[in-house]
Structure 1
Amino acid sequence: MRRLLAGTALTSIMLGLVLPAGAARAQEGDQPVAVFDRSRPAFDPKGIDLGGFRLYPRAGVSETYDDNIFADESNEQDDFITAVDAALLAESEWSRHEVKVDARVRHEAFIDNSDQDRTEYFLRPALRLDLGERDTARFNAEQSRRVVGRDDPEDAGDEEPTEFNRFLAGGEYIHRVNRVFFGFNAEARRDDYISGGDDDRDRNEYRFGLPVGYEVSAITDVTLEPFVRLRDFDELDSTGADRDAQAAGATVGLDTELTRLVHLNFDVGFVANDYEDSRFDDSVDLIFGGEAIWYATEMTTLKARAERRDIATSQPGSSSKTQSSAGVEVQHELMRNVLLGGEVRYINDDFREVDRVDNRAQLDLSAEYLLNRYVSVAAEYRYEQRWSDADNQDYSRNLITVGLKTRF
């Protein structure tokens, strides 16, 4: 369930309640569709028909100017970054069941700092099985190469980027009896860091949940999900601390349409951590998250999101961290082939057992001009700023990007 802070959503909800019902028209069927997700027959790629499957290739090239590539407080270095990416999406076109494979690779080359060059990729297959009339089973997996961003507090500050491989496998089964539904889900994840000296970051995480829900109406579901989680690090950190932990918790979720123009997904709950190391105090923490969508007009969609979660950290001497975030996104269709976007986001990272709290703010502005169904040009501006309790961790930077996108 996608996540949102209820207080953040309140403004969008109230605006939706006072908006005339005809202010936004359904774009597909009887339901409104977000601007960026809307079908545009004259500009949408047709894909390649493979007989039961359809293939959607994509590629792009962009140039970015970054005035502080290391996100450094005092030693700011600027550079130009050339990025080339390619993606492939394969989807089944069956009457029942669904298979989807999403793959992408992206290479970034720095003109003056070639030691910062990086390549990221992912491969994500997914399967949905329609069992009987209403039962469903879903399976998903991922193998990816990731780079920790310089803006992320988890960046080690090394001369070269911090890279790691992620391996993930998960699944869910849901059984429905009249309006009641219940089932189970499970996920296993492995993060394996590549850089020398980062072995104490390598870890496995496992999660198992038992969702139980009720369809209050055709537009409202309520779900309760107790869960357990295991976090297992390969090694002690540099301070000799063992960050392994067992956790249990539960969330209560609501998925509803407050009006035809305001949709809400929200859950709230708690997680209780039991740490292996006696120097770490066991904890009970509030978690929540979700998203509210307001279809303000036929041409404008607003999304508000927020989240609070307990996640692993590589900060020496810290058992974990609580990350809270909130943001608002605006999607606007200036013309049928001109799309504008804007987003503001706030992120707070609160590290346990150590005296460090990071606050980050981000502003994104974007525009895309669809030349035809095969080619578009895009531009983006991003501003980032961080305030930290740790020494020499404050920074600000600006990034300007222009690019060309192709699709088939």
Structure 2
Amino acid sequence: MVCEAFTMYAGTIYKDCRQIALALAVLGTVSSASLAFAQTLNVQQEEDPRRANNAARITKEVSPSDSGTDDKERVQASYQPKGIALGSFILFPAIENEVLFNSNIYSTRDNVKADIVDKVMPEIKLRSRFSEHAVNFTARAEQFLYRTHDAENHLDANIMADGRYDLSRDWEANGLLSFNRSYEDRGSPDAVAGEHPTLTNTYFTRLGSKQRSGRMTYAAVLTLDRRLYGDVSTSTGTAINNSDRNRIESEGTVSASYELFPGYAAVAELSANRRHYDDRRDDLGFERSSWGYAARTGVSVDLSQLVRGDFTVGYMAQDYEDSRFTDPHGLSVRASFNWTPSKLTVVVPSLERSIQETTASQTSALVRTSAGLLVRHELERNIVLTASGKVFNDYYEGTRQSNWTYEARLRGIWALAPEYYVGAETGTRIRTSTVKSSEFTQTVMLLRLGAHL
């Protein structure tokens, strides 16, 4: 199927070759500059503060995320809970309570409504402590209680199990199973104007394998994502059918990397996907099922005391079954770097261009281009501060609608003891659009109190 896709799109790929060549030229320049910078700093491979015992816990994260739910695990080890020993496992129970102010709960331009939200979040984590292999289990619930607009009250929940099997020192297999019950964000491009937010149930499976052989590293990943959407009604009682959004998204990815010299590796990645809707046609008569692929190449960098991460660039395309849809295609970029300027600070710039699924009217897909920056700093052994900013553009393929979204967040966590912590956060989200009704501004402020064992 992938070969047929390359044949089908050969003419189109040729037209975009200059874009890809330009990106590869930029990639080469960035790689050369990084190497020169590392040489200028006289970096020593054996002295990596990200892995040193006296470095901050945050600098040791391989792929730092902007998830506030993980902040309690980012303070120093002496402020971490000991857990409850259960044979070869350790159980970590926790509970959080948040009081949150949302200036625009419906994410609308007009008729803006604000509210105060109480959130209660119990959680358990079960971690293995085998000499090899690993098995983990996590269960978390989030109860949202709105002080005034109680129609927005809802319960989110997530159950996840993941594991790793070490076939040998250089070969591992891994997998993940999860169920996620959540309610669609009012600011989502696909959100419908229901009296209640839309319930979404997601079943996700990932199977993968990774093997190292000399300077080569091979990896393969298969994912299966099942999504089910609940129906809602409007304030007038009119029913909104969401079942035509139900679908299965599957994707297979193979990749290989070759260590050119210490700190630099060449990488190549090829993926193919299938997005299949339960209903052959949605309520407007469109066939939304599709298949697509992406091919990228680039470099992987791991320079001690400086930076590690990946920069890949290539081509992507998605082919929809409905001939009335415009099929998105073009440049694909994925980059994320983990820079540790000191033992207490990590800086993570990122850039990505991808094709996102949508069920917006008359639109086949969203072509999303996003750039972000995350900065995390250990102010004290028990105080971690995080600042992040992100800007992304959603281009609606077929209608030419274009949305720009700007997000900024600042938060901190203070571990008072291994069993207790407090936190605070403030954030703003601003959206501008060629469709004025899609614009909104939203500010969120919250205080958090948590306990764990």
Q: TM (normalized to structure 1)?
A: 0.91
2-structure distance, mates of 1:262, 1:70: 40
Q: What is the aligned partner in structure 2 of residue 200 from structure 1?
A: 244
Which of 318, 329, 340 is residue 363 of structure 2 equivalent to? 318
Match of residue 56 from structure 1: 92
Counterparts of residues 4-403 of structure 1 (less than 5 Å):
25-26=49-50, 28-29=52-53, 34-35=58-59, 40-196=76-232, 197-217=241-261, 219-235=263-279, 236-403=281-448
Q: Distance in 2 between matches of 1:280 and 1:97?
A: 47
Q: Structure 1 residues 52 and 333 mapped into 2: Cα distance closer, same or farther (>3 Å)?
A: same
Per-residue CA deviations over 1:20-43 (Å, capped at 9, x if unaligned) read 869994563598853595662320
CA distance in 1 between partners of 2:263 and 2:133 (Å): 23
Greater mean deviation of Cα atoms: 396-405 or 273-282: 273-282
Q: Which moved more, 1:182-191 or 1:361-370?
A: 182-191
The 2-side partners of 1:65 and 1:315 are apart by: 29
Aligned counterparts of 1:158 and 1:9: Cα–Cα separation in 2:
49
Q: Is the 8 A contact 1:136 1:175 kept in 2?
A: yes
Work out whether residues 375 and 407 of structure 1, in 8 Å CA contact, stay in contact via their aligned partners in 2: yes
- Map Cα deviations across residues 228-285 of structure 1 (whole Å, 9 max, x no partner): 1111112223331111111122122432224522222222222222221111233422
Q: Distance in 1 between matches of 2:195 and 2:54?
A: 54
Distance 1:393 1:272, change over 3 A: closer
Instruction: Tell me the alpha carbon deviations over residues 55-84 of structure 1, each in whole angstroms, 9 at most, x when there is no partner.
Output: 122210010111111111110111100000
2: CA distance, partners of 1:10 / 1:59: 48
Percent identity between the aligned chains?
24
Match of residue 18 from structure 2: none
Shift of 1:218: 5.3
Alpha-carbon distance change, 268 to 395 in structure 1, aligned in 2, over 3 angstroms: same
More displaced, 255-264 or 120-129? 255-264
Report how many residues are paired: 404
- How far, CA to CA, are the matches of 1:318 and 1:377 in structure 2? 44
Kept in 2, the 8 Å contact 1:210–1:227? The answer is yes
Unmatched runs of 5 consecutive residues or more in structure 2: 1-26, 62-73, 233-240
Q: Deviations over 1:78-106 (max 9, x none)?
A: 11000000112211111111111122111
Using a 3 Å threshold, how does the CA distance of structure 1 residues 36 and 133 change in structure 2: closer, same or farther? closer
Length-normalised TM-score, structure 2? 0.82
Between the aligned partners of 1:394 and 1:242, the Cα distance in structure 2 is 28
Letter in 2 for 1:223: V
Amino acid at match of 2:152: Q
Task: Give, in whole Å, the separation in 2 of the partners of 1:160 and 1:282.
Answer: 33
Label 1:279 to 1:10 Cα distance change in 2 as closer, same or farther (>3 A). farther
Q: Counterpart of 1:84 in structure 2: which amino acid? A: V
